[in-house]
């Protein structure tokens, strides 16, 4: 409903927050100007995984090809995941 409203109102910029986050989130259908992953925690472990690395893999699902991404907080377990996924999504 929000996307329909934004389209109808012809908004210039909309800040969309994911719910569950990452690969499985319904907001993942949009092509953003910028993606931001603020932090990683043990929320929704039943869906995202039981380690920071597994959760980071799921959260990295919002990283899109050619779209800049900002990572707000890095942990030793998440840095490699985000760096690898972002590198894979860089245009040739």
Domain coordinates of the chain in residue numbers? 16-88
pLDDT tens by residue, 9-56: 999 999 998 877 788 888 888 899 999 998 888 888 888 899 999 999
On whether the CB atoms of residues 18 and 46 are closer than 8 A, the answer is: no
Predicted TM-score (pTM) of this structure: 0.83
> Dihedral through CA 7, CA 8, CA 13, CA 19, nearest 10?
-60
Strands in 10-54 per DSSP E: 35-37
pLDDT tens by residue, 66-91: 999 999 888 999 999 999 999 998 87
Classify 39 in phi/psi space as left (phi over 0), alpha (psi -120 to 50) or beta. Answer: beta
How far, in Å, CA of 86 to CA of 2, rounded?
28
């Amino acid at each position: 409903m929000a996307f329909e409203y934004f389209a109808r109102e012809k908004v210039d910029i909309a800040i969309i927050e994911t719910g569950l986050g990452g690969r499985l989130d319904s907001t993942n259908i949009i092509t953003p100007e910028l993606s931001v992953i603020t932090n990683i925690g043990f929320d929704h472990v039943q869906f995202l995984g039981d380690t920071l690395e597994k959760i980071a893999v799921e959260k990295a699902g919002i990283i899109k090809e050619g779209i800049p991404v900002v990572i707000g907080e890095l942990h030793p377990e998440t840095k490699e995941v985000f760096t690898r996924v972002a590198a894979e999504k860089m245009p040739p």
